[in-house]
Amino acid sequence: MSERQMSGAEMVLAALADNGVDTIFGYPGGAVLPIYDAMFQQNRIRHVLVRQEGGAVHAAEGYARSTGRVGAVLVTSGPGATNAVTGLLDAQMDSIPLVCITGQVPTHLIGNDAFQEADTTGITRPCTKHNYLVKDIEKLAETLHEAFHVARNGRPGPVLIDLPKDVQFATGTYRGPEAFEFSYRPPNEPDEAAIAEAVALMAKAERPLFYTGGGVVNSGPEAATALTELVRLTGIPCTSTLMGLGAFPASDPQFLGMLGMHGTYEANLATHGCDLLICVGARFDDRVTGKVSAFSPGSTKIHIDIDASSINKNVRIDLPVVGDAGLALKAMLKLWKDARHGSRAEPLKPWWKQIDTWRAVDCLAYEKGDPVIKPQYALERLREALKGRDDVYITTEVGQHQMWAAQFLPFEKPNHWMTSGGLGTMGYGLPAAVGVQMAHPEATVIDVAGEASILMNIQEMSTAVQYRLPVKIFILNNKWMGMVRQWQELLHGGRYSESYTAALPDFVKLAEAFGGRGLRATTVDELDGAIRDMLETPGPVILDVAVDETEMCFPMIPGGAAHNEIMLRRQDQHETDPAAREEGMVLV
């Protein structure tokens, strides 16, 4: 690769292109004008103008999560950077690779409280995987390439480059990524002996269970393929975290559904009762474990994770395997085949019999309403309407609707489900859908939303209209912050403090005001027609579905409780120990 002289602004665009970026999400401002000027004079990078910088980061997350590539963001200094902070932390928590470029005031003004100055690297240090302030034009090319290297290698995450305006104007030498060697080399290859030990444990366990997470999705489609093959070959049941949905096909009889706070009865009781827990690319977070001291008490635990710091963080692990989930799964598959272990369907029969009795509880059952639409029913009808469509991407906001979406929608393939898992960011779903649809213009992209969450980034509807992105916003409108209401009912004596939204907009008119289409369904009769209309409309649509205002999301493991204390319905709350409820109340 030859060296070229160019401005810092041009280097940014050259480095983006050289790292495979074709789309960048951003918002201009004083401190990034040179980059926007350079952008105007090229056509390799397509820019998507969002309506608020937070939207840019979530859009880049949606883009990254649905393509497996690094998402790119460009925002200005000061408020541009601070608006991006939530998205950066969201990406950090959910291990989404991003490169975010922020403008900064000129080098000589840094520290002077200049107009739109913020200590961006200081503010974002704990919410990025790594960040840089580049003051020297001769270091810019290397830093840009290193940012991509760091974002995508090891446990992926967001990387930020803060770029003072004078460095954007300065001229320096540009070299391509192949000209540099980077010292950041996290371990990738799992230890062979550990893999062999894991396979040996799997071959003799009586009640084994796979517990898989977002790491399988992050590792790439091959990891999901290897997981699917391994689970089917061994005959071992499989559950998944919220972030891992789609890595193993949900329609497979060996899939027990999601585990954790709003996971299925069978998944949680299997986790509680297994004798071998094989965790692949998940991190035993508190939404999964519930009460840590009572989590899966009788099991030997294998933990495969690319991030050594995830191992033994919350739960004591018997067999740690540090490495890429895909490489580990492939190695396990090979070893399993070489050892001719074959299917364990026969010895696992009693275990499956037990699981089937848990399944028979039918934990996702709900009372059908008429004419009132139950939110679960709305999602079941959506699922029905989506049958036969091949390329369906679902994003969500955060709350009850998110959990119902995880419970009721089908997840057959990895990278088709975008949700804010770790940070739980309301307002994630619409901009994420914008990012997904930019990457997959022909696909069906649906943001399953609540009426409260959607208002947090509703301005991105304008982006969807501008770029003719036919995203479908499916609002389960119960007029309440449903999950807040649910906790207030269960833990705060039904004192519904500030969780009711008294002055909601007319979402149909709102959609129309943005230049999209608005639809409404208020009764069971109207639902199917409205869903059909939504899916058949070529442009962006908001479908406002009026649902039962007081429905609660079950199953639920209350905060501080163990998996076997799972609640299946409202009445179950009275059976829990009051002391445990006190303890659980302080948890979030």
Residue 404 CB contacts under 8 Å (≥ 6 apart), including other chains? 375, 376, 379, 448, 476, 553
Alpha-carbon span 274 to 295, nearest angstrom: 11
Alpha-carbon span 585 to 118, nearest angstrom: 37
- Give the CA count within 13 Å in the CB-facing half-sphere of 15: 30
* Choice among 6, 129, 148, 165 that is catalytic: 165
Q: 204, 316, 337, 468: which one contacts another protein (CB under 8 A)? A: 316
* Choice among 10, 52, 53, 481 that is catalytic: 53
Query: How many beta carbons lie within 10 A of that of residue 563, not counting itself?
Result: 27
The piece of 121-129, 196-204, 352-360, 448-456 that touches another protein (CB under 8 A) is: 121-129
Query: Alpha helix locations (H) across 41-133?
Result: 53-67, 79-93, 120-124
3-state secondary structure of 462: helix
Question: Quick check: 566 binds another protein (CB under 8 A)?
Answer: no
Structure tokens belonging to residue 455: 């208002």
Smallest gap, in angstroms, from Cβ of residue 468 to another protein? 39
Question: Quick check: 293 binds another protein (CB under 8 A)?
Answer: no
The piece of 5-13, 182-190, 342-350, 358-366 that touches another protein (CB under 8 A) is: 182-190
Q: 50, 73, 150, 227: which one contacts another protein (CB under 8 A)? A: 150
Question: Quick check: 585 binds another protein (CB under 8 A)?
Answer: no
User: Any catalytic annotation for residue 117?
Assistant: no
Structure tokens belonging to residue 328: 């580990």
Alpha-carbon span 556 to 259, nearest angstrom: 10
Tell me, residue by residue from 125 to 144, as one string, x for binding to another protein by CB under 8 A and - for no binding: xx--xxx-x-----------
First-residue to last-residue Cα distance in the chain = 52
* Choice among 403, 426, 461, 483 that is catalytic: 483
The piece of 23-31, 39-47, 122-130, 247-255 that touches another protein (CB under 8 A) is: 122-130
In 496-551, which ranges are E strands? Answer: 517-521, 541-546
Question: Quick check: 312 binds another protein (CB under 8 A)?
Answer: yes
Give the nearer residue to another protein in terms of CB position, either 286 or 307.
307
Alpha-carbon span 423 to 561, nearest angstrom: 21
Smallest gap, in angstroms, from Cβ of residue 82 to another protein? 18
Structure tokens belonging to residue 235: 């005959």
The helix or strand, by DSSP H or E, that contains position 400, with its residue range, turns out to be helix 400-408
Residue with tokens 């058949």: 536
Smallest gap, in angstroms, from Cβ of residue 313 to another protein? 6
User: Any catalytic annotation for residue 40?
Assistant: no
User: Any catalytic annotation for residue 115?
Assistant: yes
Name the DSSP letter for residue 566. -
The piece of 63-71, 90-98, 310-318, 407-415 that touches another protein (CB under 8 A) is: 310-318
Q: 104, 121, 241, 296: which one contacts another protein (CB under 8 A)? A: 121
Q: 37, 286, 307, 533: which one contacts another protein (CB under 8 A)? A: 307
Supply the residues annotated as catalytic: 53, 115-116, 165, 483
Judged by the rule CB under 8 A, the positions of this chain that interact with another protein are: 121-122, 125-126, 129-131, 133, 150, 154-155, 183-184, 186, 307-309, 311-313, 316
